[in-house]
């Protein structure tokens, strides 16, 4: 896949919700030469506009820069850190895993009791940074500091890659790569690298209010259903880019979906229908912004999401980039 090194770099960059600046800096350097206008709003959303023609629509593509993490709420006398959620964490995938703070401090997650007994209560977890006691810990970490998961970007078989934060550095990567592709530019395209999606789709809400798009696309990952897991559905890694029909937070627009499918057919882009019954994306905020916005999602199927070992197919990622690019010139029926 072209520019895979950029995807790797994005996954290795720190960007817990509310602290997206390191990710934003990398993206901004890539997109400045590709956009007509670039700005960062008060919440930290990075917004890039590429002008279209008078007969086109205004499209908003939203990919979130932030990743889930943990926030320190208390430092024990022992030097262990007690934490709360930033976004939705799965205690079992954090247990005994490594985390890293913005200043480089590294720790390992433990549990106050047997992990299964914690019943996914993040309040039962602690982080061991190797401190001797509270005073020692306070030299490195303070209450309110946040950490994210830690781990390398690695290749599995069959063009599947595994890394932390594929959710949603894949979407950020797809937007950048689609911006590079030259098209006629029928539609005005506003590429938004959003903040704070993981804590309730907050950045996309203010960005959509500013942009007032005709159509919104959440460019994000979606959980895979093709391995034994607690979810049921049809999402399959390697079977093409997901076109979102619905999730619990949004019902997607039929005419928009038809246009997306037509783009895939015309461009030979492999796609799969995407329906999930847990979770949500920035599509929800765009959908209910202003007087209402037609929406769908461009979703890369990802195994083990919200874990340091999430995994996705490079071919699916590339198909997503091609679909975004094709939508620049798409003609919508309304």
Sites of contact with Zn ion (CB under 5 A): 167-168, 220
* Spatial CA neighbour of 7 closest among 240, 224, 165, 156: 165
Given a contact cutoff of 8 angstroms between Cβ atoms, the answer to whether 17 and 165 are in contact is no
Cα separation, 36 vs 253, whole angstroms: 29
From the candidates 30, 177, 197, 274, which is the catalytic residue? Answer: 197
Query: Least separation, in Å, of the C-beta of 244 and Zn ion?
Result: 12
Q: What single-letter DSSP state applies at residue 226?
A: S
Query: Least separation, in Å, of the C-beta of 8 and Zn ion?
Result: 18
Q: Give the helix/strand (H/E) hosting 283.
A: helix 283-287
Residue whose CB is less far from Zn ion, 167 or 253: 167
Query: Least separation, in Å, of the C-beta of 197 and Zn ion?
Result: 6
Residues in contact with 240: Cβ distance below 8 Å, sequence separation at least 6, in sequence order? 264, 269, 270, 271, 272, 316, 319
Query: Least separation, in Å, of the C-beta of 221 and Zn ion?
Result: 5
Residue whose CB is less far from Zn ion, 13 or 259: 13
205 token code pair: 């809400």
169 token code pair: 């550095």
Residue whose CB is less far from Zn ion, 193 or 332: 193
Check if 197 is active-site.
Answer: yes
Residues in contact with 160: Cβ distance below 8 Å, sequence separation at least 6, in sequence order? 237, 238, 311, 312, 313, 314
127 token code pair: 């982080």
* Spatial CA neighbour of 83 closest among 110, 105, 102: 110
Query: Least separation, in Å, of the C-beta of 167 and Zn ion?
Result: 4
Given a contact cutoff of 8 angstroms between Cβ atoms, the answer to whether 69 and 212 are in contact is no
Cα separation, 83 vs 136, whole angstroms: 18
Positions marked active-site: 197
């Amino acid at each position: 896949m072209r520019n895979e090194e950029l995807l790797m770099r994005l996954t290795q960059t720190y960007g817990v919700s509310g602290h997206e600046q390191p990710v934003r800096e990398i993206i901004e350097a890539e997109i400045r030469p590709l956009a007509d206008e670039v700005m960062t709003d008060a919440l930290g959303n990075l917004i890039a506009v590429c002008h279209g023609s008078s007969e086109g629509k205004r499209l908003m593509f939203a990919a979130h820069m932030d990743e889930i993490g943990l926030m320190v709420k208390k430092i024990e006398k022992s030097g262990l850190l007690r934490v709360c959620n930033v976004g939705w964490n799965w205690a079992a995938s954090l247990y005994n895993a490594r985390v890293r703070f913005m200043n480089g401090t590294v720790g390992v997650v433990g549990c106050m009791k047997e992990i299964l007994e914690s019943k996914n209560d993040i309040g039962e977890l602690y982080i061991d940074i190797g401190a001797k006691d509270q005073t020692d810990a306070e030299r490195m970490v303070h209450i309110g500091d946040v950490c994210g998961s830690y781990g390398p970007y690695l290749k599995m078989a069959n063009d599947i890659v595994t890394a932390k934060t594929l959710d949603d550095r894949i979407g950020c990567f797809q937007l950048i790569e689609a911006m590079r592709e030259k098209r006629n530019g029928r539609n005005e395209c506003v590429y938004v690298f959003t903040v704070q999606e993981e804590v309730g789709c907050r950045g996309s809400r203010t960005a959509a209010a500013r942009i007032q798009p005709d159509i919104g696309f959440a460019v994000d990952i979606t959980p895979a259903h093709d391995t034994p897991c607690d979810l049921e559905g049809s999402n399959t890694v390697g079977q093409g880019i997901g076109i979102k029909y619905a999730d619990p937070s949004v019902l997607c627009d039929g005419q928009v979906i038809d246009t997306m499918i037509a783009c895939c057919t015309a461009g030979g882009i492999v796609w799969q229908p995407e329906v999930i019954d847990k979770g949500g994306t920035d599509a929800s905020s765009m959908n209910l912004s202003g007087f209402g916005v037609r929406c769908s999602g461009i979703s890369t199927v990802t195994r083990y999401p919200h874990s340091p070992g999430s995994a996705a197919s490079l071919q699916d990622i590339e198909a997503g980039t091609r679909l975004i690019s094709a939508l620049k010139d798409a003609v919508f029926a309304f």
